C-alpha cells in the first residue's frame, strides 16, 4: 500500500489505534491491500466491529468476524466495488451488546496509488445513530401532523364541492366562483399533505413495491389531466409526445411512477411563466429502454443547484422571499421513486433557459396472453 498506508500512520501503531489517532479520526477506518487483506484498522473500527486489531490484520476485509451485521455490510460493499467500481454506501441497524440499537454507516471505496491504479480498499464506518433517530423523529412528527390535517381538510373539500355544484342551494356566479376556489385550494393542500405522509416511506425504501405490467400508452394517457386547467389559467402550452409502439409494456409500480412523473410536471408548470410551454415526452431509446422526460421554457436552474434540488425540503429561492409555493418535497419524492425502480432522474438546465428532467426505464417482456394483458 505504501503511501496510502502512510496517510493513516498517525492513527495506528501498525496494529491498532493510539490516543492521538483516535482524536484525529473519529470514524472507523479499515484499509486493505490489493489482495483484500487488512493492513490497517483504527480503534474506532475495532469498537464498532467488536474485534481486535491483532485478529483482523492479514484477514480479508469481507471476513473479519465481529458483529455479523457489519461483516455483511463490508462483504456487500466489497462486492459492489467489484461490480461497478463506484463507492458503496449503506446504513446498518446494529444490535450492540452494551448500547441501545445503533445505526452505522458503512462506506467502501477503492484506494488508488500514486499512478491512479487500484491498490486496495477502504471502509469508513460511522456511528450515525443520533442523526438517524433525529430524522426518524422529524418524519414521524410530520406524518402525525399530516394525518391530523386530513380530517378537517376532508370536510372543507366535501362541503366546498357540494356548494360549487349547487347541491346545498342556488348560488350567484360570484358565490360559485368562491366555492370553486375553496375547493381548488383544498385539493392543493391535500396534495401537499400527501407529500408529507409519503415522506417517511422514501427513507424506508417502501416505494416501487406494488409492481405490475401495463402498456406505456395507457400510462401516458393519464398523466396530464390534473394540470390542464392550471396550464390554461396561465396560458402555458402543455403537450405530450409519445414515440413508442402501442404494445410496449412497463413493469413498475404504476401509482408511484405516476406520482413521480406528475411531480416533474407540477414542478415544470410552477417555474414556467405565462405564455411558456411544458412538454412531456415518452420515447424509446436505441437500447430498448424508454425515456420519460419533462421539458419546460421556465426560469431554469443554476448548475450549482442541479444536485441539491433533489434534497429534502431544499428550495433554490429564499424561503422568506420566494414567489413560488411548495414545500421542497416534489423532486425529492420523485427521485426516491425513480431510484426504487433502478434508475435516476437527470437534469439539464441553465439559468434563464428552461429545464429538462428525464429518466429511463427498461421495457417489460410482452405477457403471454397479449401485449396489453396484465399478469394475475
Three-state SS sequence of 153-213: HHHHHHHHHHHHCCCCCCCCHHHHHHHHHHHHHHHHHHHHHHHHHHHHHHHCCCCCCCCEE
Q: Looking at residue 66, what DSSP letter applies? A: S
Span of 127-131, 296-300, 304-308, 326-330 with lowest mean pLDDT: 326-330
**pLDDT above 60 (res 5):** no
Q: How confident is the model at residue 275 (pLDDT cuts 50, 70, 90)?
A: very high
What is the C-alpha to C-alpha distance for residues 157 and 163, in angstroms, rounded to an integer? Answer: 10
pTM for the full predicted model: 0.60
Helix (H) and strand (E) counts in the chain: 11, 12
Give pLDDT, residue 304.
Answer: 87
Mean pLDDT of 149-158: 87
Q: How far is CA 199 from the centre of its chain?
A: 10
Give pLDDT, residue 16.
Answer: 44
User: Tell me: the pLDDT tens digits for 108-132?
Assistant: 888 888 888 888 888 898 888 888 7
**pLDDT above 90 (res 11):** no
**pLDDT above 80 (res 87):** no
**pLDDT above 90 (res 322):** no
**pLDDT above 70 (res 14):** no
Give pLDDT, residue 8.
Answer: 41
Span of 38-42, 200-204, 277-281 with lowest mean pLDDT: 200-204
Residue count (the chain): 376
Closest by CA position to 45, among listed 29, 68, 23, 67: 29
**pLDDT above 90 (res 355):** yes
Span of 8-12, 30-34, 333-337 with lowest mean pLDDT: 8-12
Span of 217-221, 232-236, 320-324, 328-332 with lowest mean pLDDT: 320-324
**pLDDT above 60 (res 59):** yes
CATH number of the 212-364 domain: 3.30.565.10
**pLDDT above 50 (res 10):** no
Q: How confident is the model at residue 268 (pLDDT cuts 50, 70, 90)?
A: very high
Mean pLDDT of 271-280: 93
CATH number of the 3-127 domain: 3.30.450.20
**174 or 77: which leads in pLDDT:** 174
Give pLDDT, residue 245.
Answer: 76
What does R_g of the chain's alpha carbons equal in angstroms? 26
Per DSSP, the three-state class of 107 is strand
**pLDDT above 50 (res 6):** no
What is the C-alpha to C-alpha distance for residues 197 and 164, in angstroms, rounded to an integer? Answer: 28
User: Tell me: the pLDDT tens digits for 211-252?
Assistant: 899 999 889 988 888 888 889 889 999 999 988 877 788 999
Return the C-alpha cell found at 125.
464506518
Q: How confident is the model at residue 315 (pLDDT cuts 50, 70, 90)?
A: confident
Q: Looking at residue 275, what DSSP letter applies? A: T
Q: How confident is the model at residue 313 (pLDDT cuts 50, 70, 90)?
A: confident
Mean pLDDT of 15-19: 44
Mean pLDDT of 282-294: 91
What is the C-alpha to C-alpha distance for residues 240 and 223, in angstroms, rounded to an integer? Answer: 9
Q: How confident is the model at residue 198 (pLDDT cuts 50, 70, 90)?
A: low
What is the C-alpha to C-alpha distance for residues 240 and 278, in angstroms, rounded to an integer? Answer: 9
Amino acid at each position: 500500500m505504501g503511501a496510502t498506508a502512510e496517510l493513516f500512520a498517525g492513527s495506528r501503531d501498525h496494529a491498532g489505534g493510539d490516543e492521538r489517532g483516535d482524536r484525529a479520526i473519529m470514524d472507523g477506518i479499515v484499509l486493505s491491500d490489493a489482495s483484500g487483506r487488512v493492513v490497517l484498522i483504527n480503534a474506532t473500527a475495532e469498537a464498532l466491529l467488536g474485534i481486535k486489531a491483532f485478529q483482523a490484520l492479514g484477514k480479508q476485509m469481507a471476513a473479519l468476524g465481529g458483529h455479523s451485521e457489519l461483516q455483511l455490510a463490508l462483504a456487500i460493499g466489497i462486492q459492489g466495488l467489484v461490480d461497478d467500481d463506484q463507492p458503496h454506501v449503506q446504513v446498518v441497524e446494529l444490535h450492540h451488546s452494551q448500547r441501545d440499537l445503533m445505526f452505522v454507516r458503512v462506506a467502501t471505496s477503492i484506494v488508488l496509488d500514486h499512478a491512479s491504479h487500484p491498490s486496495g480498499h477502504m471502509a469508513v464506518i460511522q456511528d450515525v445513530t443520533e442523526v438517524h433517530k433525529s430524522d426518524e423523529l422529524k418524519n414521524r412528527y410530520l406524518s402525525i401532523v399530516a394525518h391530523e390535517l386530513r380530517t378537517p381538510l376532508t370536510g372543507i373539500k366535501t362541503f366546498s364541492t357540494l356548494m360549487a355544484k349547487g347541491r346545498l342551494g342556488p348560488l350567484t356566479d360570484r358565490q360559485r366562483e368562491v366555492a370553486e376556489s375553496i375547493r381548488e385550494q383544498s385539493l392543493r393542500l391535500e396534495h401537499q399533505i400527501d407529500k408529507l405522509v409519503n415522506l417517511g416511506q422514501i427513507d424506508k425504501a417502501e416505494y416501487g413495491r406494488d409492481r405490475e405490467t401495463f402498456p406505456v400508452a395507457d400510462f401516458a394517457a393519464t398523466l396530464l389531466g390534473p394540470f390542464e386547467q392550471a396550464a390554461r389559467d396561465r396560458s402555458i402550452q402543455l403537450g405530450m409526445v409519445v414515440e413508442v409502439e402501442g404494445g410496449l409494456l412497463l413493469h413498475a409500480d404504476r401509482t408511484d411512477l405516476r406520482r413521480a412523473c406528475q411531480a416533474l410536471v407540477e414542478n415544470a408548470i410552477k417555474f414556467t411563466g405565462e405564455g411558456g410551454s411544458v412538454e412531456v415526452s415518452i420515447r424509446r431509446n436505441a437500447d430498448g429502454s424508454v425515456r420519460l422526460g419533462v421539458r419546460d421554457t421556465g426560469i431554469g436552474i443554476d448548475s450549482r443547484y442541479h444536485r441539491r434540488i433533489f434534497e429534502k425540503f431544499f428550495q433554490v429561492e429564499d424561503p422568506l422571499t420566494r414567489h413560488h409555493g411548495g414545500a421542497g418535497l416534489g423532486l425529492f419524492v420523485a427521485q426516491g421513486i425513480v431510484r426504487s425502480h433502478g434508475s435516476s432522474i437527470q437534469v439539464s438546465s441553465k439559468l434563464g433557459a428552461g429545464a429538462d428532467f428525464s429518466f429511463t426505464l427498461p421495457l417489460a417482456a410482452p405477457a403471454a396472453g397479449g401485449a396489453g394483458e396484465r399478469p394475475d
